[in-house]
Structure 1
């Protein structure tokens, strides 16, 4: 069984036992979280599509850890003007482990 869930402005295709990185959530490692915004549930040939979300469907996840992603370098310059700016950014994320998908 798989599901497509929406969290943090993005959509993720998940299966039981899978680990995903989502935008940072307010939860401690070890806590259980229920993702209620389920867009689609699929099992073999049986597919249920929500409009926009499925009622009574949820994906239960366990918070594994909080971490930061790789650094992204932002380099701005203008030719012949001696203008250069170099900055970096690291995005915070939360790693979730999918424990159950309920329809």
Structure 2
């Protein structure tokens, strides 16, 4: 059984036991979170697709940790003007483990 969930403006296909890096959630480590925006649920007898979400479906997960990804260097410049700027960015994330798919 698998599910397609939406969180942080992105969609993820998840199975029980998967570990995901998603956009940062407002939850501490070892907290339980529930994703209610389930777009589709795939079972042995077929696929249940919502319009836009499947009624009564949810995905339970446990937060493993919060952190920041590796630094990305952003360099902007304007040619022939002597204008340049170097910046770095570290995107925050939340690592979760999928524990149950309730359909």
Query: Does TM-score exceed 0.5, indicating one fold?
Result: yes
- 2-structure distance, mates of 1:43, 1:56: 15
How does the TM-score come out when normalised to structure 1?
0.95
Structure 2 match to 1:96: 96
- 2-structure distance, mates of 1:84, 1:45: 58
- 2-structure distance, mates of 1:45, 1:21: 30
Q: Measure how far apart 1:45 and its partner are.
A: 5.3
Structure 2 match to 1:24: 24
How does the TM-score come out when normalised to structure 2?
0.95
Q: Aligned-residue CA RMSD in angstroms?
A: 1.0
The answer on 1:59 being equivalent to 2:71 is no
- 1-structure distance, mates of 2:4, 2:51: 13
Q: Which moved more, 1:92-101 or 1:70-79?
A: 70-79
Q: Provide structure 1 residue ranges, at least 5 long, that are not aligned to the other structure.
A: none
Segments of 4+ moved more than 4 angstroms? none
